[in-house]
C-alpha cells in the first residue's frame, strides 16, 4: 500500500489500526472467497490430469488389444537349434514339422593361381575388370560393376582396394593372404568372395587388359575355385526345397528358418503353437489398466478436496465403461460371449481380476473364440476404445473441461488483481479521511487550549 504516515497526534487515537481493520473487514472475506475458489479449480485441474493420464493408458492398452495379431502370436520350438533356428509370424499355422538340413548355402570364393604373385606389391597390369553375378555382365540387369585399373596403381594390393571401393560393388569382397609357396618362400593370393550365397550368385570376372598378360591373370578362367557356390537344400516332412540362402522364409508359411549346420537325413522337430503366455500378458495389461482407471475415478468422486466430488461426467464415464465391459459381444461364440467366460471377472467392489487357469483353458479349447471376444470389430477392446476416444482425443471432453477450468482460473487472477487495487484505493481513502479528522481534532484541541488560557487570564 501507499506510504501514508499516521500521527494520531491530534486525537490520540491509533488511526492506523482502525484503517487497517476497516480495510480487512471489507477485503479479507472477498479474498478468502477467491482463494477458496482458486483452490477448488486447481484441484479440478489436478483431477482432470489424473483422469486423462489413466484414460490414455487405458486407451493404449485397448488399441493394442483390439489388434487381431495380438491373439495370433505363435510360439516356436526347435528340437535341435544347432541345426537351425526358427521364428514365426501370426500367419503361421500351428503344427509339427520334421526338417532336415541336407546342405547349407555357400558363397563362391575364387583366388589367383598358385605362384602367380610373389607379394601384394607385385605388378599385375592395367585395364578394365568387369565383375558380375549370375552370368555375364548385363547393364540392363544391373548385375555387376566395372573397375578401371590405372597403370600407376596396378599392383595386386591396388586392385584389391579398387574392387572394394568400386561404385556399385555390392556383390564381392576382395582380400589378400600371404601363404607358403611350397618351395620355402611365400606368395600373395588375391581372394574374391561373393557376398551372397547360392549358385545364382556365382562370380564372373571378365578382363580387358591394356597389355598381355596383365589383367588376364584375374579372368574367371585363370582363377581357382577355393569354394564353390552352393544352394541350401532342406527337407520338410520328406519334401525337398532348394533355396539360395540359409535364411528361408517361403517354404513354411509364416515361418523363417535360419540354417546353422548340415547333416543329411538328420530330422529335427519344429513345433509351431499358439502363444498363450503372450495373450495372457495382454489380457492382464487390460485388467490392470481397467482397475487403475476405475480406481482413479472412484478416488476423485469420493474426495471433497478433488474438486470433482460427485461430478456427473466422471460418474457416467465409470458406469458406462463397466457396462460396456460386461455386455455380450455380437458375433462371439456362445461359450465366449462375455469376459467372465474367459476368466475375467469384476467383484462387488468393482475390481477386475484375471483367472489365468480359466483363460488358458479357454485358449486351449478354442483360441480363436478368445480373439473374437477381445479384438473383433464389435469386441470388448473396440467398443471400449470407441467410447473412450471422445474423452481423450484433441478437442475432446476432457480437454474442453480443462480449458474451461483454466479460463475460470484466469478470470480469478484478474479479480484478485482488481481486489488488490481496490484494497489499496480503500486504504488510501480511509487514511486521508482519518488523517484529516486527526488534524481537525488537533486544531480544535489547539483552539480549545487557547480559549482556556484566555479565559483564565480574564479571571485575574
Residue pair 452/29 in contact by the 8 Å Cβ criterion: no
Q: How much is the pLDDT for 60?
A: 92
Between CA 71 and CA 46 the distance in angstroms is: 37
φ, ψ dihedrals at 158, nearest 5°: -60, -40
Q: What is the pLDDT of residues 113-141, one digit of tens each?
A: 999 999 999 999 999 999 999 888 888 78
Q: Which of 5-14, 133-142, 420-429 has the lowest mean pLDDT?
A: 5-14
Residue 125 region, left (φ>0) first, then alpha (ψ -120 to 50), else beta? left
pLDDT of the residue at 4? 55
Give the pLDDT confidence of 24-68 residue by residue, as tens digits: 888 888 888 877 788 787 888 888 888 888 999 999 999 988 887
pLDDT at 23: 77
Out of 92-106, 137-151, 288-302, 442-456, give the one with best mean pLDDT. Answer: 92-106
> Across-strand partners of 247?
258
Least confident interval from 11-20, 67-76, 288-297? 11-20
Which residues are registered as beta bridge partners of 224?
A: 111
Asked if 143 and 137 count as a contact pair (C-beta separation under 8 A), the reply is yes
Is the separation of the CB atoms in 331 and 378 below 8 Å? yes
What are the two backbone dihedrals, phi and then psi, of residue 368, each rounded to the nearest 5 degrees? -65, -35
Strands across the sheet with 203-209, in order?
144-149, 127-133, 203-209
Mean pLDDT for the stretch of residues 190-196? 96
Q: Given a cut of 90, is residue 229 above it in pLDDT?
A: yes
Return the pLDDT at 266. 95
Distance (Å, rounded) from C-alpha 240 to C-alpha 189?
38
End-to-end CA distance of the chain: 54
pLDDT classification of 286: cutoffs 50, 70, 90: very high
pLDDT score at 212: 67
Question: Which residues are within 8 A (CB) of 361 and not within 5 positions of it... i.e. 6 or more apart?
Answer: 343
Q: Which residues of 366-397 are buried (b: 16+ CB within 10 A; e: fewer)?
A: ebebbbbbbbbeebbbbbbbeebeebbeeebe
**pLDDT tens-digit map of 288-345:** 999 999 999 888 887 777 777 878 888 888 999 999 998 999 888 888 899 999 999 9
**Is the CA virtual torsion 337, 352, 399, 32 positive or negative?**
positive
If you average pLDDT over residues 416-442, what whole number do you get? 80
- Of the pLDDT bands very low, low, confident and very high (cuts 50, 70, 90), residue 410 is confident
- β-bridge mates for residue 174, sequence order: 192
On whether the CB atoms of residues 74 and 90 are closer than 8 A, the answer is yes
Looking at per-residue confidence, does 403 or 386 come out higher?
386
Q: Which residue has the higher pLDDT, 1 or 187?
A: 187
3-state secondary structure the chain: CCCCCCCCCCCCCCHHHHHHHHHHHHHHHHHHHHHHHHHHHHHHHHHHHHHHHHHHHHHHHHHHHCCHHHHCCEEEEECCCCCEEEEECCCCCCEEEEEEEEECCECCEEEECCCCCCCCCCECCCEEEEEEECCCCCCCCCCEEEEEECHHHCEHHHHHHHHHHCCCCCCEEEEEEEEECCCCCEEEEEEEEECCCCHHHCEEEEEEECCCCHHHHHCHHHEEEEECCECEEEEECCEEEEECCCEECCCCCCEEEEECCCCCCCEEEEEEEECHHHHHHHHHHHHHHHHHHHHHHHHHHCCHHHCCCCCHHHHHHHHHHHHHHHCCCCCCCHHHCCHHHHCEEECCCCCEEECHHHHHHHHHHCHHHHHHHHHCCCCHHHHHHHHHHHHHCCCCHHHHHHHHHHHHHHHHHHHHHHHHHHHHHHHHHHHHHHHHHHHHHHHHHHHHHHHHHHHHHHCC
Residue 140, judged by CB atoms within 10 A of its CB (0-12, 13-18, 19+), counts as exposed
Predicted model pTM: 0.62
Query: Over the stretch 203-226, which tens digit does the pLDDT of each residue have?
Result: 999 999 877 677 999 999 999 999
pLDDT for residue 127: 92
Flag the least confident range among 7-16, 93-102, 154-163.
7-16
Percent of the chain beyond pLDDT 70? 95
> What is the reported pLDDT for 129?
94
How buried is residue 5: exposed, middle or buried, by Cβ count under 10 Å (0-12/13-18/19+)?
exposed
**Is the predicted pLDDT of residue 447 greater than 80, yes or no?**
no
Q: Kindly report the number of other CB atoms within 10 A of residue 300's CB atom.
A: 24
pLDDT value at position 10?
55
Highest mean pLDDT of the ranges 235-239, 363-367, 377-381: 235-239
Q: pLDDT-based confidence at 87, cuts 50/70/90?
A: very high
| Strand 247-248 relative to strand 255-259, pairing | antiparallel
**Average pLDDT estimate for 183-198:** 95
Please state whether beta strands 344-346 and 232-236 pair in parallel, antiparallel, or not at all (unpaired).
Answer: unpaired
Q: What is the mean pLDDT of the chain?
A: 88
Is it the case that residue 1 has pLDDT exceeding 70? no
Q: How confident is the model at residue 349 (pLDDT cuts 50, 70, 90)?
A: confident
Amino acid at each position: 500500500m501507499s506510504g501514508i504516515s499516521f500521527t494520531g497526534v491530534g486525537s490520540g487515537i491509533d488511526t492506523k489500526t482502525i484503517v487497517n481493520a476497516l480495510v480487512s473487514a471489507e477485503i479479507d472475506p472477498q479474498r478468502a472467497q477467491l482463494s477458496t475458489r482458486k483452490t477448488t479449480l486447481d484441484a479440478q485441474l489436478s483431477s482432470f490430469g489424473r483422469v486423462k493420464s489413466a484414460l490414455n493408458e487405458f486407451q493404449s492398452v485397448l488399441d493394442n488389444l483390439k489388434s487381431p495379431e495380438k491373439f495370433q502370436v505363435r510360439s516356436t520350438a526347435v528340437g535341435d537349434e544347432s541345426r537351425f533356428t526358427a521364428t514365426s509370424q501370426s500367419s503361421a499355422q500351428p503344427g509339427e514339422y520334421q526338417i532336415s538340413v541336407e546342405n547349407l548355402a555357400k558363397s563362391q570364393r575364387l583366388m589367383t593361381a598358385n605362384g602367380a604373385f610373389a607379394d601384394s606389391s607385385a605388378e599385375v597390369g592395367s585395364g578394365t575388370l568387369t565383375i558380375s553375378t549370375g552370368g555375364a555382365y548385363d547393364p540392363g540387369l544391373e548385375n555387376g560393376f566395372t573397375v578401371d585399373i590405372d597403370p600407376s596403381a596396378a599392383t595386386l594390393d591396388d586392385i584389391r582396394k579398387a574392387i572394394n571401393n568400386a561404385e556399385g560393388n555390392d556383390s564381392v569382397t576382395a582380400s589378400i593372404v600371404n601363404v607358403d609357396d611350397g618351395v620355402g618362400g611365400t606368395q600373395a593370393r588375391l581372394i574374391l568372395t561373393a557376398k551372397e550365397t547360392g549358385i545364382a550368385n556365382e562370380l564372373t570376372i571378365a578382363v580387358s587388359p591394356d597389355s598381355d598378360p596383365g589383367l588376364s591373370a584375374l579372368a574367371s578362367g585363370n582363377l581357382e575355385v577355393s569354394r564353390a557356390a552352393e544352394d541350401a537344400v532342406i527337407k520338410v516332412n520328406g519334401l525337398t526345397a532348394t533355396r539360395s540362402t540359409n535364411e528361408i522364409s517361403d517354404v513354411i508359411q509364416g515361418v523363417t528358418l535360419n540354417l546353422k549346420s548340415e547333416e543329411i537325413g538328420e530330422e529335427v522337430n519344429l513345433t509351431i503353437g499358439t502363444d498363450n503366455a503372450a495373450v495372457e500378458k495382454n489380457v492382464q495389461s487390460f485388467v490392470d489398466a481397467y482397475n487403475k482407471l476405475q480406481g482413479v475415478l472412484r478416488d476423485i468422486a469420493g474426495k471433497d478436496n478433488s474438486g470433482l466430488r460427485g461430478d456427473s461426467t466422471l460418474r457416467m464415464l465409470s458406469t458406462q465403461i463397466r457396462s460396456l465391459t460386461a455386455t455380450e459381444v455380437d458375433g462371439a461364440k456362445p461359450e465366449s460371449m462375455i469376459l467372465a467366460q474367459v476368466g475375467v471377472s469384476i467383484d462387488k467392489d468393482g475390481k477386475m481380476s484375471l483367472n489365468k487357469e480359466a483363460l488358458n483353458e479357454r485358449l486351449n479349447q478354442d483360441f480363436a473364440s478368445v480373439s473374437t471376444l477381445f479384438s473383433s470389430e464389435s469386441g470388448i477392446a473396440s467398443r471400449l476404445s470407441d467410447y473412450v476416444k471422445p474423452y481423450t482425443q484433441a478437442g475432446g471432453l476432457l480437454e474442453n473441461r480443462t480449458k474451461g477450468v483454466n479460463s475460470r482460473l484466469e478470470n480469478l487472477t484478474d479479480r484478485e488483481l482488481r481486489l488488490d487495487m481496490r484494497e489499496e484505493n480503500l486504504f488510501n481513502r480511509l487514511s486521508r479521511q482519518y488523517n484529516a479528522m486527526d488534524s481537525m481534532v488537533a486544531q480544535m484541541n489547539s483552539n480549545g487550549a487557547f480559549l482556556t488560557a484566555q479565559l483564565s487570564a480574564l479571571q485575574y
